[in-house]
Structure 1
Amino acid sequence: MPYEQLKLSTDKPVLSWANHDLGHEETKMAKNVASLPFVFKHVALMPDVHLGKGALVGSVLATKDAVIPAAVGVDIGCGMAAIKTPFVAEQLEGKLKKIRLDIESAIPLGFNQNKEVEKDASNWQGWTHFKDLHRGVQDVQGKAMKQLGSLGGGNHFIEVCLDTEDSVWLMLHSGSRNIGNRLAQCHISTAKELAKLAGNRLPDPDLAYFIAGTPEFAAYWRDLQWAQNYARYNRDVMMARFKRIVEKHLAGGKPIKPLLEVNCHHNYAEKEVHFGEDVYVTRKGAVRAREEDYGIIPGSMGAKSFIVKGKGNHESYCSCSHGAGRLMSRKKAKKQFSLDDLVTQTQGVECRKDGGVLDEIPGAYKPIDEVMNNQADLVEVVATLKQVVCVKG
């Protein structure tokens, strides 16, 4: 589906791939962002767009000489990683529960962290720059080191999947853990203080921003890049452990070479060139999809997921959706669905089926096929996956 320009009275147009009308609060949020003076050309909304904080989740902003910390969000660098293995479906028979239990034992979930700092974590080159980060996080380096290689909670997950040719894929979703959250909160607070002192009339306090060339901008950009690198490496460490578990069960512990590897952010900001100009692009719940870029678009814990390749659509700032997108809040999902619904909707998947993951039930998410149909001009599908093991944070 090509995009449509929303009928909004804003300084900059809002282009949407969502193929549905935005709700009142979503419309207000889109208008707030599009009214900012430093927004470049237009705002792009992906097919999975829904309410966020300050900016919509599933939105792509290009800005000139300014960046909005809350638009990036608090899970800086959150994203996906996946590898295609040479294993096939029949090799998994009778082993799914053992694999799930090993994952849950080897990779800390939720608020948990590693008991000791592992070699992979301590060797990360990013630690040499930790002392340069915001003073508000200098007391948590030990925690950050122990959390490298941990999943986190919410909608973060680890999955064993099969594609349509019965090849086995390993996939996971995670970000920058507590350290990314702490850094984001420090800078969001600073941006709000600056806006208040300057008397800036913002349509939403969460749209407080930093201007390029200022010390505050430089400090945020430095910390942002650090946290994005931490998030990417966090996924690498987890994927290495995950791969060893699957190798133990399917190859007697013999290492295998992945046939394809993908690791992509979907909550982040980078400096890019669009329409011939240098801009800061913030993807809040969106994946970069330049030509030949590989990306990952997961469904819910009972639905299909997709490995994609970008088409380089310039109107979307070379972006695509980051998933199915929530259809309802976690609170509403818990009220509307029962454990029996969860069991039914995750049939055939080796996963937890208890109240702790009820808010992640597939019915709480938009239909992934509809989301994919709406972005046929943004990406091409490389592989269609269906999970057989799902571990939630």
Structure 2
Amino acid sequence: MKTQINGNDLITLGYPEGSLIGVALKINKKRTGLNREQMMENYAAVLKNPEEYKDHILFGVLAKAIIAKQNEKESDFISLHPTPISFPAYGKDFIEGGAFKQMEVAMRLPITVAGALMPDAHQGYGLPIGGVLATRNAIIPYGVGVDIGCRMALSIYPISAEYFYANADKFKREIIAHSKFGAGHGYHGQYKSDHEVLGDSLFNENALVKSLKDKAWSQLGTSGGGNHFVEFGILEFEKDDAILNIPKGNYVALLTHSGSRGFGATIAGHYTKKAKEVCKLPDEAKNLAYLDLNSELGQEYWLAMNLAGEYASACHEIIHTKISKSLGVATLAKIENHHNFAWKEVYNGEEVIVHRKGATPASKGVMGIIPGSMTAPGFLVRGKGEVNAINSASHGAGRQMSRTQAENTISRSAMKSILADHNVTLIGAGLDEAPMAYKDIHQVMAAQEELVDVVARFIPKIVRMADDGSRED
């Protein structure tokens, strides 16, 4: 017997898609003594006669929201263009429809100049993950994303694959000793790291940022949860790379993926809320609320976003420094790139704000890392500077299953089997991060051959992720 209530149930009752459903579902979490049938009866009654429920202890909030919605006028909102600006989609045959719908809404904003979908795109909040959007003098907090400045970092070592296989236990010990995972987790006391980023003046000038300094300090040098990882693998160069000065061959490499932790997430939530207060968009576009960069709020967010990006970089620097020191070797090269960010760039002769939510910068000659999954290869790439893609590429393989779908359809034994087939040692991670939950990285790379050149291939061998149940991205 069905006991849960979801958005589709409320739509069936006549609730419009949008904010009212969110209000109603929050009430459902608080229900006391009412079964599913009774809740549905009340939902229907409130929708029909909201005035009668204005002072109801449980349904009053919903009733007031319905009344406010009924009193809204079209003139209360910023108008969207009737038709979206056209945009390219790379690998469009394997991008879900929800991502296209979200991108089409973004392309109707009055601030939009251009956009593009990368081949790993899938639905998110506001701008789809894998979405790139150029705007005029405006920044969209949810166009940047919750995990501000999330990034990839790669250290290449003068260590052979043969040495790695002969000493795999040592490499496993170093990953465990020098990384920390999990939503909300951090270091305490003598184990805390330090970094010059904590001395940034914004920690004294912005009240919100100041209130987050202790959390930022405790989580400095950690990796969070979700799809974040620290892993050792073998990096394969099929030919000499003169720019990196690395000869053809196979090398041990350390690859990390994580962002700005709770520090960035709190900044994102705060300024998204502020943006929605000052930028009233229709329901279908409300998560694309933007801030004028000439406004005080816009400048506040811009500075906080940039600090969160520097903080994310510092977290990677600390992890890589600790592990390099423990291995007793200097790096041959280190490459780093970030996504979930906004940049000031020139597009067709005009300065614009380029949002890359889950997309890799790929201007001509710019290096980046595009991972596959815990068993699929990742790729060290060099951008080609494709203008139609707004100088961007994918940030990974992209999900083909939601986390819930993966947990419900992938068995632990199937995941262990594929790890064994690829000779990968996994520390942590839940079924939601199983390789089968991701798109085929080879298909994704084939769809963006005009965007990047492949420099080397990374084969994962020891992967550490957060334990089951950790959802922080």
Q: Which runs of 5+ in 2 are unaligned?
A: 1-81, 237-248, 467-473
Q: Return the alpha-carbon distance in structure 2 between the equivalents of residues 263 and 141 of structure 1.
A: 25
1:347-366 maps to which residues of 2 (within 5 A)? 347=420, 348-352=423-427, 356-366=429-439
Change (3 A) 1:284 1:117: farther
**Aligned residue in 1 for 2:380:** 307
Post-superposition offset of 1:85: 1.0
In the alignment, does 2:159 pair up with 1:159? no
Give yes or no for contact 1:72–1:269 (8 Å, CA) kept in 2.
yes
Higher relative contact order (CA 8 A, sep 6+): 1
Partners of 2:90 and 2:100 in 1: how far apart? Answer: 14
- Provide the C-alpha distance between the structure 2 equivalents of 1:195 and 1:147, rounded to a whole number of angstroms: 32
Q: Distance in 2 between matches of 1:139 and 1:31?
A: 37
Provide the rounded CA distance (Å) in 2 between the counterparts of 1:129 and 1:37: 31
Q: What does 1:171-250 correspond to in 2, within 5 Å?
A: 171-196=255-280, 200-201=281-282, 203-245=284-326, 247=327
Cα pair 1:267 1:283 within 8 Å, conserved: yes
Instruction: Confirm whether residue 89 of structure 1 aligns to residue 161 of structure 2.
Output: yes
In the alignment, what sits opposite 1:146?
Answer: 218
- Indicate if the aligned counterparts of 1:100 and 1:351 stay in contact, CA closer than 8 A: no
1:250 is matched with which residue?
none
Query: What amino acid sits opposite 2:445 in the alignment?
Result: M
- Alpha-carbon deviations, 1:347-381, whole Å to 9, x = none? 201113x7x52111100000000000000000000
- What displacement does 1:203 show? 2.8
Instruction: Give the structure with higher Rg (CA).
Output: 2
1:367 corresponds, among 437, 440, 458, to 440
Deviation at 1:66, TM superposition (A): 1.0
Supply the AA of the counterpart residue of 1:273. Answer: V
Measured after TM superposition, the shift of residue 14 of structure 1 is 1.9
Tell me if structure 2 keeps the 8 A contact 1:157–1:174.
Answer: yes
| Residue matched to 1:38 | 111
Counterpart of 2:148 in 1: which secondary structure?
coil
Q: Which residue of structure 1 aligns with residue 208 of structure 2?
A: 136
Q: Which has the higher strand share?
A: 1
| Cross-structure match for 1:124 | 197
Alignment partner of 1:107: what SS?
Answer: coil
Which AA in structure 1 matches 2:289? A
Any residues of structure 2 matched to 1:263-302 within 5 Å, and which?
A: 263-302=336-375
- Contact kept, 8 Å, 1:345 with 1:361, in 2: the verdict is no
Paired residue for 1:113?
Answer: 186
Amino acid corresponding to residue 187 of structure 2 in structure 1 = N
2:182 maps to amino acid: G
User: Residue 54 of structure 1: SS of its match in structure 2?
Assistant: coil
Q: CA RMSD of the aligned region, Å? A: 1.9
Could you say if the C-alpha distance between residues 213 and 123 of structure 1 is closer, same or farther in structure 2, counting changes exceeding 3 Å?
A: closer
SS in 1 for 2:458: strand
Counterparts of 2:365 and 2:325 in 1: how far apart (Å)?
29
Equivalent position of 1:170 in the other structure: 254
**Count of residues in Structure 1 that have an aligned counterpart in Structure 2:** 371
Contact 1:107 1:241 in 2 (8 A): no
Q: Supply the distance in 1 between the matched residues of 2:406 and 2:418 (Cα, whole angstroms).
A: 13
In structure 2, distance between residues paired with 1:22 and 1:128: 42
Q: Deviations over 1:231-271 (max 9, x none)?
A: 111111111112223x1xxxxx3x32x22211110110011
Unaligned runs of 5+ in 1: 1-8, 248-252
After the TM superposition, which of the residue ranges 93-102 and 326-335 deviates more from structure 2? 93-102
Cα distance, 1:99 vs structure 2: 2.2
Deviation at 1:43, TM superposition (A): 1.3
Paired with 2:195 and 2:439, the residues of 1 have a C-alpha distance of 40
Q: 1:117 to 1:275 in 2, by over 3 A?
A: farther
Q: Distance in 1 between matches of 2:138 and 2:353?
A: 7
Equivalent position to 1:104, from 154, 163, 176: 176
